Amino acid sequence: MLRLPTFSYHRPKTAAEAVRLKKEHGKDAMFVAGGTDLYPNMKRRHQTPTHVISLQDVPGLASVDVQQDGTVAIGAMCRLSDLERHAHLLAHYPAFAHAVKEISTPLLRNMGTIGGNLLLDTRCTYYDQSHEWRESIDFCMKKDGAICWVAPGSPRCWAVQSSDTVPVVCAIEAKVELVSPEGSRTIAASDLYRDDGIQYLTKKPEELLTRLLLPAPGNWKASYLKLRRRDTFDFPVLGVGACVWTDAQGVVTKASIRLGGAGSFAIPAVDAEKALLGHKLTDEVIAAAGEKAMKPARTMDNTDLDVYWRRKVAPVFVARALLACK
Amino acid sequence: MGLDEQKTAPSVVRADAPWRHDAKKDELRVIGKPIRKIDARSKVAGLTKFADDLKLPRMLHMKLLRSTAAHAVIKHIDVSKAKSMPGVKGVLTGQDMPIPFGILPVSQDEHALCLDTVRFVGDPVVAIAAMEEEQAWDACRAVEVEYQTLQTIGSSHEAAATDEPRLHDYGVRGNIHRLENLEFGDLKDGFARADHIREDTVFFEGNTHLPMEQHATLAHFDKDGKLTIWSSTQTPHYLHRALARVLHPLPAHHIRVIACPNGGGFGGKSDPFNHEIAAAKMSMLTGRPVKIALTREEVFWCHRGRHPVLMRSKMGVTKTGRITALDFESYLDGGAYGSYGTASTFYTGALQTVTYAVENYHFRGVRFFTCKAPCGPKRGHGTVQPRFAIEVQLDKVACDLGLDPAEMRKQNLAPRESLTANFLRIGSMGLGACIDKVVEGSGWKARRGKQERTKDGRIRGLGLACSSYLSGAGLPIYWNGLPHSGVQLKLDRSGLVTVFCGSTDIGQGSDSVLSWIVGEVLGVDPLGIRVVTSDTDLTPVDLGSYSSRVTVMTGNAAMQAAERARDIVARGAAEHLQVPVNRLVFADARVFDSENPDKGISFQDAVIAAEARCGTIGTVGSYTPPKTAAKFRGGGVGPSPSYSYSACVVEVEVDPDTGIYRVPKVWMAHDIGRALNAAVAMGQIEGSVYMGLGEAMMEEMAYRDRSHKGHRVFVHKIPSLLEYKSPSTMEMPEVVTYVVEDPDKNGPFGAKEVGQGPLLPIMPAVANAVFDAVGVRVDENPISFEKVFAALLAKKEGKDARFGPSLGKDGVPQVDFGDSLKVKTPWQGGDGTAWNEPKRDKKAAK
């Protein structure tokens, strides 16, 4: 069987101790929450930390708190299976709860956490392979090698953003809280990510993601629509997070459409967003906006399902996601 | 019948011939009843010991270093660093096991570790055993192998176009492993009589077995010079032979192979494997037990799965849809080794005539060597791909002629108790009844062609397809005149009946089958019978759990052994009871007088009486299939004691905007001859539906073919359970199963196979259902969403509403098949021999 490499396991009791340990061991250390992403990766030698810092004993990271101003703070260690059943989230953030429920399988959601899902490693069928397999292609630039097999002429890595929740939290303009030895800061969720398969996060390595902050319910409605081969287990090969702000007349005042699984970050479908502004969400408006989503979908041949087909059906999926925002 | 008569003629088996194939259901006590499998509770409770569960004191763990090159000469291997790594106890390379092996005598082309050439990424090169598995893995990383790369042969087309370098120096020529050209009857006349002729080219992509259990082997060479191997194998006898060959001069009778319960086999554990032989050798080298447990990725390298097959089919039919002639070509991409490939090649041609009567038939088949994991037998071995081609073509023919595809098929049914054009002997034949069942159950006549919309805008369609499959190969894989299956019975004074048989339970229930048959004949509770199987030291030879042979072959052997035991026990009981032997009945663990049921003794007392009279009780039974009618060269593949039949209707719901479809319901009818246990039979049928849907909708052995700076990388695309897509419970539809019983005289109690046949019609039925829904043809399996979408797009743009390989001669590799071997059909007065001897000159044919 595939076995884990040897490592030291730490169980700090406070967030401060966790970030101190991380600082002490630097690159040799990694945080682990549910472990559903990290441990398989370690078995395939994608990440080989000699120190693994578990967050399971850190207090205060596993609750969902509805704040005075209507916003919701979700601790990074909240189990995905708890969030998908959370009454307040189901009532006021159905798109987010739905995205959580679309992640992997019930068993893995019992272990996986929201923090882990937000920081999910980017994926690629040239990368998510055993060490032996990668050896046979002489590795790739994301780990141990020099080239990107998806686009051999490319100077960058094209591994794919594959979290189901990221397109939604970006679309609804959620925020995240990061803690480091220097203190804590809160940034827009969309600012946590960048368009690179390797350096896909803007956070500093020693920073610990502690909370996800959802905006208060209001004159917006969001949706999430996932494309994958099977109705469970699979990562998205297209995950549309859509959010539409409307005035009293139902006219769109702001729109945010994010395409997950279609590039190294949740790509904003800017032209599709623009096409909605100033209009009511009629079938025609939605279809026209959907058509404008094909261009930004930068699908590459490094996930399941045909690369061109994924692009061609993007308009259909965006339109259906927008329909659900009506 | 009066009350008294009922009492004297109980509804139990009669003393004369209770095990007739056409015995009435109420004459049987065990057969046909939904008794649980004898190993069910251990399986469900997780207590069954699979090979990877076994541990021995001082056991070492072995890992294989596998080739990173798709095709290369091994220039140099340096294991010096690896040998000094922590925990390492033994290192082997190809030179330590230079004798080649292979499942078929005609293709002994594998080595336990590659000798001088690697032929695909994943070919094993070095074996290392260490105290811990991680240490063996680390040591493998310290081995340095220098390769001189050779040209990669990536496909059938490339193989056909590349004579040099050859992957192997045997075979027909170049990279052609096998080439067959067989002609039965008068094709010219057949096509001349046709009112309509259709030509199609279709492709069936390869896929793999995906058993839940990854292969594992434990080997122990003890201090007395005896070797024991526990392994996840479907064929302990063949593994035994391969070990004896490679480990020469270790005598065969010093080797003991124990096949552990298989956590799924499906044909993927039917070959002797390199890791099994290497583990044995490593144990001999180190003097310690050695275990190897393969990773999921390594299971993909073992493969032996479905061949990718490109097919051209030309069919002639009359106006009413009767087939007059069939000209069929198949091009198999065999992968790097021979495996069962010779048989696979013949199987892509052999059974076309068993489902429908084909008056005149021409088959050409070719198998190529390519730099991929070797293909072999997967559930439905070699017959699945042509079945897809034929069933889709029949649907098109029916469409061309404006006929109901179900009715058209019924017109063409191969007759029961007949010889086919290629001299296969059909016995019972229940396909007509199967078609009727699924047509009625699915509402075929009313619902087909209606393009109903679902609530979410999808379009419904129904598709129908049929199939046949063999109940065991008529000939063994190595030439011998011995029985195919042997069973021994031991009865002792405790009343225990022990069945010994070389067969292997791969989850299909073959151990239970033995207990039911013996239980029925001896009138005892099958759950109380001890079944000892698949241990070459203890059990008589059975050729293995492949080709759906076990129920028919071990069943008949078990019946013979049980009849003989019954005779012995009956003589003891008759003496004890003072009743004539021929009046005795065995039922409910009693032996009693059929004319006075109260007069009897327990089965145990009867055994004691018999043991006192005859001494220790042991009997044997064996089975050899009937002689084949085909006498021409190549006629050895296809004959079987009996053929099973299946028909199914698949319902699909297609999203016309994306090509995404789902399968909400499947109706499947299977002619099993007789169900020895309907519940277990239905499990096999539903399992086939599941596996078939995986093949139809998503599964493929896809390869990455990339070049960079003149270096070609050719590697399996997705060797993992996550990315090699197989259906989840979410994709599993509702299945309506019909067990059709048409008892066959060659089967125990009339039974035929069930484990493989019902898989076959699923894929073509899905393709036909997609056509019914949205009017496009996907002539390539899997029928994935993208292909449906591409065909829909073509239709929208006014092009041929089809996705598939290019039609015509250019679509297939260019191969000179030479002259055909010509055989007169039975209705032409043929006697099963060929009337010509075509030239087999390799150079001339080039």
Q: Do A133 and B718 make contact, defined as CB atoms within 8 angstroms?
A: no
Nearest Cα to Cα of residue B749 among B642, B647, B646: B642
Give residue limits of the domains in chain B: 3-30+482-623, 57-150+212-264+269-302, 178-207+305-474+633-811
Is there a common fold for B3-30+482-623 and B178-207+305-474+633-811?
yes
Q: Which residues pair with A251 in a beta bridge?
A: A280
CA–CA separation, B542 and B316 (whole Å): 42
Average pLDDT on B123-150 reads 97
What is the residue whose two structure tokens read 């919309």? B453
H or E element at residue B487: strand B485-491
Average pLDDT on B609-635 reads 96
Confidence at residue B838, expressed as pLDDT on a 0 to 100 scale: 87
Q: pLDDT for B92-110, tens place per residue? A: 999 999 999 999 999 999 9
Confidence at residue B4, expressed as pLDDT on a 0 to 100 scale: 40
Confidence at residue B14, expressed as pLDDT on a 0 to 100 scale: 41
Q: Do B730 and A3 make contact, defined as CB atoms within 8 angstroms?
A: no
CA–CA separation, B235 and B242 (whole Å): 11
φ, ψ for residue B648 (rounded to 5)?
-145, 155
CA A62 to chain CA mean position, Å = 19
Candidate from A133, A136, A230 with C-beta closest to B728: A230
Residues of A with CB under 8 A from a CB of B: 1-3, 5-6, 125-126, 128-130, 132-133, 135-138, 147, 149, 152, 229-234, 304-306, 309, 312-313, 316
Confidence at residue B19, expressed as pLDDT on a 0 to 100 scale: 64
In the stretch 204-223 of chain B, residues with CB closer than 8 A to chain A read: 214
The model's confidence at residue B11, banded by pLDDT at 50, 70 and 90, is very low
CA–CA separation, B219 and B221 (whole Å): 7
CA B675 to chain CA mean position, Å = 19
Is residue B545 within 8 A of residue B510, CB to CB? The reply is: yes
CA–CA separation, B515 and B508 (whole Å): 14
For B64, B82, B287, B604, the CA distances from B92, given in Å and listed in that order, are: 9, 11, 14, 54
Is residue A127 within 8 A of residue A143, CB to CB? The reply is: yes
A158: tokens are 């094209």
Candidate from A126, A128, A230 with C-beta closest to B725: A230
- Chain A contact for B68 (CB, 8 A cutoff): yes
- CA of B481 to nearest chain A CA: how many angstroms apart? 42
CATH topology of domain B57-150+212-264+269-302: Aldehyde Oxidoreductase; domain 3 (3.90.1170)
Helix axes B384-401, B341-350, angle to 10 degrees: 20
Q: pLDDT for A32-67, tens place per residue? A: 999 999 999 999 999 999 999 999 999 999 999 999
Average pLDDT on B423-431 reads 98
CA–CA separation, B495 and B608 (whole Å): 8
Nearest Cα to Cα of residue B805 among B767, B779, B774: B779
Confidence at residue B710, expressed as pLDDT on a 0 to 100 scale: 84
Is residue A257 within 8 A of residue A268, CB to CB? The reply is: yes
For A214, B485, B746, the CA distances from A69, given in Å and listed in that order, are: 11, 78, 80
- CA of B118 to nearest chain A CA: how many angstroms apart? 13
Most confident of the ranges B2-16, B224-238, B706-720: B224-238
Q: Do B730 and A230 make contact, defined as CB atoms within 8 angstroms?
A: yes
The model's confidence at residue B1, banded by pLDDT at 50, 70 and 90, is very low
B813 pLDDT more than 80: yes
Q: Do B715 and A136 make contact, defined as CB atoms within 8 angstroms?
A: yes
Q: What sections of A67-180 are H helices per DSSP?
A: 80-83, 87-92, 94-101, 106-111, 114-118, 131-136, 165-171
- Chain A contact for B830 (CB, 8 A cutoff): no
CA–CA separation, A196 and A194 (whole Å): 6
The model's confidence at residue B839, banded by pLDDT at 50, 70 and 90, is confident
Q: pLDDT for B373-409, tens place per residue? A: 999 999 999 999 999 999 999 999 999 999 999 999 9
Average pLDDT on A104-127 reads 98
Confidence at residue B723, expressed as pLDDT on a 0 to 100 scale: 96
Q: Which residues pair with B200 in a beta bridge?
A: B313
Cβ neighbours of B723 in A, within 8 Å: 125, 128, 304
Pairing of strands B255-259, B60-66: unpaired
The model's confidence at residue B18, banded by pLDDT at 50, 70 and 90, is low
Q: Do B659 and A304 make contact, defined as CB atoms within 8 angstroms?
A: no
The SS3 assignment for B70 reads: coil
Average pLDDT on A175-185 reads 95
Average pLDDT on B498-525 reads 97
Nearest Cα to Cα of residue B759 among B566, B453, B548: B548
Confidence at residue B16, expressed as pLDDT on a 0 to 100 scale: 45
- Chain A contact for B137 (CB, 8 A cutoff): yes
- CA of B259 to nearest chain A CA: how many angstroms apart? 20
CA B539 to chain CA mean position, Å = 23
The model's confidence at residue B840, banded by pLDDT at 50, 70 and 90, is low
φ, ψ for residue B299 (rounded to 5)?
-65, -35
H or E element at residue B199: strand B196-204
Terminal-residue alpha carbon distance, chain A: 49
Q: Do A1 and B293 make contact, defined as CB atoms within 8 angstroms?
A: yes
Confidence at residue B368, expressed as pLDDT on a 0 to 100 scale: 98
Considering only alpha carbons, which residue of chain B is nearest residue A308?
A: B786
Confidence at residue A7, expressed as pLDDT on a 0 to 100 scale: 97
The model's confidence at residue B761, banded by pLDDT at 50, 70 and 90, is very high
The model's confidence at residue B213, banded by pLDDT at 50, 70 and 90, is very high
**Rounded to 5°, angle at Cα B486 from B485 and B489:** 145
- CA of A37 to nearest chain B CA: how many angstroms apart? 13
Cβ neighbours of A137 in B, within 8 Å: 704, 706, 713, 715
What is the residue whose two structure tokens read 């019978």? B529
Per the document, the length of chain B is: 846
B12 pLDDT more than 70: no
Is residue A297 within 8 A of residue A314, CB to CB? The reply is: yes
CA–CA separation, B631 and B425 (whole Å): 13
- CA of B476 to nearest chain A CA: how many angstroms apart? 35
Is residue B11 within 8 A of residue B732, CB to CB? The reply is: no
B13 pLDDT more than 50: no
Query: Residues of chain A with pLDDT > 70: what percent?
Result: 100
Query: Side-chain half-sphere of B60: how many Cα atoms within 13 Å?
Result: 30
Cβ neighbours of B714 in A, within 8 Å: none
Average pLDDT on B665-670 reads 98
Q: pLDDT for A217-256, tens place per residue? A: 999 999 999 999 999 999 999 999 999 999 999 999 999 9
Q: Which residues contact B144 (CB under 8 A, 6 or more apart)?
A: B76, B77, B78, B81
Average pLDDT on A201-224 reads 96
What is the residue whose two structure tokens read 């239905």? B682
Domains and CATH numbers, chain A: 1-58 (3.30.43.10), 64-119+160-323 (3.30.465.10)
B834 pLDDT more than 70: yes
Candidate from A126, A232, A309 with C-beta closest to B786: A309
Q: pLDDT for B48-92, tens place per residue? A: 999 999 999 999 999 999 999 999 999 999 999 999 999 999 999
- Whole-prediction pTM: 0.97
The mean pLDDT of chain B is 95
Q: Which residues pair with A113 in a beta bridge?
A: A79
Is residue B87 within 8 A of residue B131, CB to CB? The reply is: yes
B843 pLDDT more than 60: no
B628: tokens are 């084949």
Domain range B178-207+305-474+633-811, its CATH number among 3.30.70.2170, 3.30.365.10, 3.30.930.10, 3.40.30.10: 3.30.365.10
Within B612-680, strands assigned E span 617-623, 643-654, 661-671
Cβ neighbours of A135 in B, within 8 Å: 68
DSSP string, B213-281: SPPEEEEEE-TTS-EEEEE--S-HHHHHHHHHHHTTTS-GGGEEEEEPPPS--TTTT-S--HHHHHHHH
CATH class of B3-30+482-623: alpha beta
Nearest Cα to Cα of residue B472 among B637, B353, B670: B637
Four-residue CA torsion sign, A31, A34, A40, A41: negative
- Chain A contact for B293 (CB, 8 A cutoff): yes
Average pLDDT on B149-176 reads 97
DSSP string, B311-344: EEEEEEE-TT--EEEEEEEEEEE--SS-TTHHHH
**Rounded to 5°, angle at Cα B538 from B536 and B539:** 70
The SS3 assignment for A52 reads: strand
The model's confidence at residue B623, banded by pLDDT at 50, 70 and 90, is very high
CA–CA separation, B797 and B815 (whole Å): 35
Is residue B86 within 8 A of residue B135, CB to CB? The reply is: yes
Interface test with A, best of B132, B725, B797 (most A CBs within 10 A): B725
CA–CA separation, A239 and A266 (whole Å): 9
B15 pLDDT more than 70: no
Average pLDDT on A185-209 reads 96
Q: pLDDT for B689-706, tens place per residue? A: 999 999 999 999 999 999
The model's confidence at residue B687, banded by pLDDT at 50, 70 and 90, is very high
Cβ neighbours of B790 in A, within 8 Å: 309
Considering only alpha carbons, which residue of chain A is nearest residue B64?
A: A132
The mean pLDDT of chain A is 97
Nearest Cα to Cα of residue B575 among B603, B610, B599: B610
Q: Do A136 and B713 make contact, defined as CB atoms within 8 angstroms?
A: yes
Kindly report the three-state secondary structure assignment for every residue of A236-253. Answer: CCEEEEEEEEECCCCEEE
- CA of A102 to nearest chain B CA: how many angstroms apart? 13
Cβ neighbours of B785 in A, within 8 Å: 229, 305, 309
